[in-house]
């Protein structure tokens, strides 16, 4: 494992994301030898912490990975804390001094990664200061990793992008979508382009419809303040779901490289139809969870959650039909759905193939369709693939019986495979942006969802509800039935 040499500066270093995801990921990279002695981390945030206290926080955050005392001590000794008011230029002087000092101490060759894990309202100021205070004037590379949300509409995203692009060029910007770091999302390309049996059928001649479900069984937990302003459309569809759709729908790239994959994904997203507001209302439904007793647990309504308005009209569920206007996908609906407080936490993709044109096994009615072949990609918590086929039922006579070819990664494989953030941080260290979202993808995704948002915002009255623990409002089932299709996965 090739050693990576860099200084990380984490804005939002005291936050939840840093503690839950980043520090453990950095520790895993350290353990595997991708980070050795030549790395250092500056954590910054408003709170006044000492280095010692920060290192204690780091040690606690990697506790679940059971480091030895020695390991934890050695790892956390690379962490430095600096209280920082992002609006105050003087603070950037101290940041630069510390960065230069650590650069020398750890021989970091001027390589700098800036991780923005905080409220986006300050991104502009931060990058401006990184430039004006010459923190990025080094002999090594400077890269920016940005957490979502990247804007809250096309317009705000564009403003944010302009601010950032005034300082960093596109190649230096790594916009995180952690779904792109997931093993089975990366497997979409392996399944498609590594298996000619699938890729040769991957079009509207043979595929009937494609379904993407990202279901969660938790509510908004302690993120009510953020979520109530965002809702499922912006929280999950604009980013994760549209990224999955792009990977499923894109054309075959000439080679598997950052440039070509991103180009093809952008083209695919550009072919997703941008609805009129009227079409958006026809093709998208939303819902909000209400209280229920499920699996022996009393679940409160969304409106009763902390920091959620008691009359909130924010959606915690979205289902919709996307249409892709190109040669490959004309006539193939992409059904998508996501929500909180659903029956179970699971993400999966179902590719539903067209049935045999004629059912020769049923001479009374050869038009009675046979069960359709379905390729399922299980993203989480179980990881794997399955393919349903029609076989002959064992025994006399001749009856068909569905069989399932099923492969799942073992719990051990899943346990030992790198976590999404770990992979993405390593990619950013190596300068590989394949699994990060390009501005053209982000902007097109906003264009797609903005219309839906606008259409909903013009509607009055309460939005549809669903009982916590179910798979969403009745409208989500009506939507797909209207097309003479059905959700494959019904837990």
In the bound complex, what is the minimum distance in angstroms from residue 26's beta carbon to ligand BG6? 19
The structure tokens 């430039």 sit at 131
Residue 100 CA from chain centroid, whole number:
34
Is-cis flag, bond preceding 460, omega within 30?
A: no
Which is nearer to ligand BG6, 131 or 223 (by Cβ)? Answer: 223
**CA angle at 228 for the pair 222 and 232, rounded to the nearest 5°:** 100
Number of neighbouring beta carbons within 10 Å of residue 262: 22
What is the pattern of x (binds ligand BG6, CB under 6 A) and - over residues 161-200?
Answer: ----------------------------------------
In the bound complex, what is the minimum distance in angstroms from residue 179's beta carbon to ligand BG6? 7
The answer to the question of residue 305 lying near ligand BG6 (CB under 6 A) is: no
Q: Which of 235, 264, 422, 450 binds ligand BG6 (CB under 6 A)?
A: 235
Which is nearer to ligand BG6, 82 or 239 (by Cβ)? Answer: 239
Return the residue nearest ligand BG6 (CB atom).
235
Distance between CA atoms of 97 and 178, rounded to whole angstroms? 32
Q: Check residue 237 and report its DSSP letter.
A: I
Distance between CA atoms of 177 and 210, rounded to whole angstroms? 22
Q: Check residue 205 and report its DSSP letter.
A: T
In the bound complex, what is the minimum distance in angstroms from residue 213's beta carbon to ligand BG6? 11
Distance between CA atoms of 271 and 251, rounded to whole angstroms? 11
In the bound complex, what is the minimum distance in angstroms from residue 237's beta carbon to ligand BG6? 11
Distance between CA atoms of 236 and 240, rounded to whole angstroms? 5
In the bound complex, what is the minimum distance in angstroms from residue 377's beta carbon to ligand BG6? 15
The answer to the question of residue 216 lying near ligand BG6 (CB under 6 A) is: yes
Give the H or E element holding residue 199.
helix 196-199
Distance between CA atoms of 94 and 83, rounded to whole angstroms? 10
Contact in structure between 150 and 120 (CB atoms under 8 Å)? yes
Which is nearer to ligand BG6, 208 or 235 (by Cβ)? Answer: 235
The answer to the question of residue 147 lying near ligand BG6 (CB under 6 A) is: no
What number of chain residues touch ligand BG6 (CB under 6 A)?
2
Of the candidates 329, 335, 343, 331, which has an alpha carbon nearest to the alpha carbon of residue 241?
A: 335
Q: Please, which of residues 23-82 interact with ligand BG6 by CB under 6 A?
A: none
Distance between CA atoms of 271 and 297, rounded to whole angstroms? 44
**Please, what's the b/e burial string for 283-303 (b: 16 or more CB within 10 A of its CB; e: otherwise)?**
bbbbbbbbbbebeeeebebbb
Distance between CA atoms of 296 and 358, rounded to whole angstroms? 47
Distance between CA atoms of 26 and 451, rounded to whole angstroms? 39
Which is nearer to ligand BG6, 103 or 235 (by Cβ)? Answer: 235
Q: What is the CA radius of gyration of the chain?
A: 24
In the bound complex, what is the minimum distance in angstroms from residue 13's beta carbon to ligand BG6? 20
Which is nearer to ligand BG6, 103 or 216 (by Cβ)? Answer: 216
Name the active-site residue from 129, 240, 399, 438: 240
240 belongs to the catalytic site: yes
Distance between CA atoms of 161 and 274, rounded to whole angstroms? 22
**Please, what's the b/e burial string for 204-238 (b: 16 or more CB within 10 A of its CB; e: otherwise)?**
eeebbbbbbbbbbbebbeebbeebbebbbbbbbbb
In the bound complex, what is the minimum distance in angstroms from residue 419's beta carbon to ligand BG6? 10
Distance between CA atoms of 7 and 91, rounded to whole angstroms? 18
Which is nearer to ligand BG6, 67 or 219 (by Cβ)? Answer: 219
Which is nearer to ligand BG6, 235 or 383 (by Cβ)? Answer: 235
Which is nearer to ligand BG6, 135 or 424 (by Cβ)? Answer: 424
Which is nearer to ligand BG6, 216 or 422 (by Cβ)? Answer: 216
In the bound complex, what is the minimum distance in angstroms from residue 210's beta carbon to ligand BG6? 19
Classify the phi-psi angles of 263: left when phi > 0, otherwise alpha if psi is within -120 to 50, otherwise beta: alpha
Distance between CA atoms of 233 and 230, rounded to whole angstroms? 7
In the bound complex, what is the minimum distance in angstroms from residue 33's beta carbon to ligand BG6? 26
What is the pattern of x (binds ligand BG6, CB under 6 A) and - over residues 378-417?
Answer: ----------------------------------------
Q: What residues are labeled active site?
A: 240
For binding to ligand BG6 (CB under 6 A), which residues are involved?
A: 216, 235
């Amino acid at each position: 494992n090739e050693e990576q040499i860099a200084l990380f500066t984490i804005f939002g270093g005291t936050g939840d994301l840093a503690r839950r995801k980043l520090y453990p990921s950095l520790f895993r990279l350290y353990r595997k030898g991708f980070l050795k002695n030549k790395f250092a981390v500056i954590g910054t945030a408003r709170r006044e912490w000492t280095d010692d206290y920060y290192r204690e926080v780091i040690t606690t955050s990697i506790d679940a990975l059971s480091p030895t005392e020695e390991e934890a001590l050695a790892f956390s000794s690379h962490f430095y804390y600096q209280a920082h008011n992002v609006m105050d230029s003087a603070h950037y002087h101290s940041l630069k001094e510390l960065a230069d000092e650590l650069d020398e101490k750890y021989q970091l060759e001027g390589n700098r990664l800036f991780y923005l894990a905080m409220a986006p309202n300050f991104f502009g100021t931060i990058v401006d200061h990184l430039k004006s205070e010459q923190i990025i004037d080094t002999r090594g590379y400077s890269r920016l990793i940005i957490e979502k949300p990247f804007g809250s509409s096309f317009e705000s995203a564009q403003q944010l992008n302009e601010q950032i692009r005034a300082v960093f060029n596109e190649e230096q910007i790594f916009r995180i979508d952690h779904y792109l770091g997931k093993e089975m999302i990366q497997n979409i390309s392996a399944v498609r382009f590594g298996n000619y049996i699938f890729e040769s059928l991957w079009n509207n001649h043979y595929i009937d419809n494609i379904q993407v479900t990202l279901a969660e069984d938790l509510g908004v937990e302690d993120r009510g303040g953020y979520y109530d302003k965002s809702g499922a459309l912006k929280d999950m569809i604009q980013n994760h779901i549209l990224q999955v759709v792009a990977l499923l729908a894109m054309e075959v790239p000439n080679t598997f490289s950052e440039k070509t994959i991103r180009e093809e994904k952008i083209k695919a997203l550009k072919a997703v139809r941008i609805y009129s507001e009227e079409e958006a209302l026809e093709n998208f439904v939303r819902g909000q969870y209400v209280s229920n007793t499920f699996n022996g647990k009393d679940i409160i309504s969304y409106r009763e959650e902390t920091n959620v308005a008691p009359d909130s009209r924010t959606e915690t569920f979205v289902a919709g039909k996307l249409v892709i206007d190109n040669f490959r996908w004309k006539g193939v609906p992409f059904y998508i759905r996501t929500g909180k407080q659903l029956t179970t936490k699971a993400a999966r993709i179902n590719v539903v193939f067209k049935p045999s044109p004629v059912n020769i096994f049923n001479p009374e009615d050869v038009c009675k369709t046979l069960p359709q072949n379905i390729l399922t990609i299980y993203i989480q918590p179980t990881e794997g693939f399955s393919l349903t086929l029609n076989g002959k039922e064992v025994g006399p006579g001749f009856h068909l019986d569905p069989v399932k070819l099923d492969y799942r990664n073992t719990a051990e494989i899943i346990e030992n495979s790198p976590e999404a953030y770990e992979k993405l941080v390593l990619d950013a260290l190596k300068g590989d942006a394949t699994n990060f979202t390009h501005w053209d993808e982000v902007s097109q995704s906003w264009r797609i969802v903005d219309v839906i948002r606008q259409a909903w915002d013009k509607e009055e009255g309460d939005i549809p509800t669903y009982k916590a623990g179910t798979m969403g409002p009745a409208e989500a089932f009506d939507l797909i039935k209207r097309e003479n299709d059905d959700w494959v996965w019904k837990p």
